[in-house]
Amino acid sequence: MSNAHSPKDFFDYLSKPLERDIIVQTLKINKISINKIELVIDFIQSLCENVFTTYLGDDVINSDKIIRDHFNWCWAKSVDSLEQENLTLEFEKDFKDYMFVFFKEGFYISKDKPESELKIMIFWKACFNPWVNKTQSELDILVEVYNLFDKSLRLKS
């Protein structure tokens, strides 16, 4: 009996760098544009900056509703910056929900906000820098988030 999902397989998925050819092939198969990757990471960095710099502390942002409200405000501010480039996000629910869960789990409920900020920035840069080695998990996240973003992106009319 094969053990296709062994702890070693999972560890490799999370930590073993892929060969460059696999990364390039995956980007090509998924029709991922390097220019659009840069747009995605610019948007995510804008969202990170908005969340981190406007966070008023655990004593103020202390309920699910307030967390959601703060995130929504930061999201709207990041979308506005896209609109200055004649781009907009429409039908963004899936992408926004993905990012909300990520920020809620990775930042809002964290007890060490400065460490969380640093880890989040490093994580997104690793996932979305097409020129650095990636693990399979980072590549999967790049493809998933890219597709969610791409599905929502429209030229502003």
For residue 63, CA distances in Å to 50, 57, 69 come to: 19, 12, 10
Asked if residue 134 has pLDDT above 60, the reply is: yes
Please give the mean pLDDT across all residues of the chain: 91
Domain positions in the chain: 44-155
Q: Which residues contact 123 (CB under 8 A, 6 or more apart)?
A: 106
Whole-number Cα distances in Å, 65 to 53, 98, 105: 19, 17, 15
* Lowest-confidence pick of 88-92, 128-132, 143-147: 88-92
Which has the higher per-residue pLDDT, 3 or 151?
A: 151
| pLDDT of amino acid 2 | 44
Task: Quick: pLDDT tens for 74-84.
Answer: 999 999 998 88
Greater confidence (86 vs 149) lies with 149
- Residues above pLDDT 90, as percent of the chain: 73
Amino acid 4: pLDDT: 60
pLDDT higher than threshold 50 for residue 22: yes
- The answer, yes or no, to whether residue 91 has pLDDT greater than 80, is no
pLDDT above 80 for 156: no
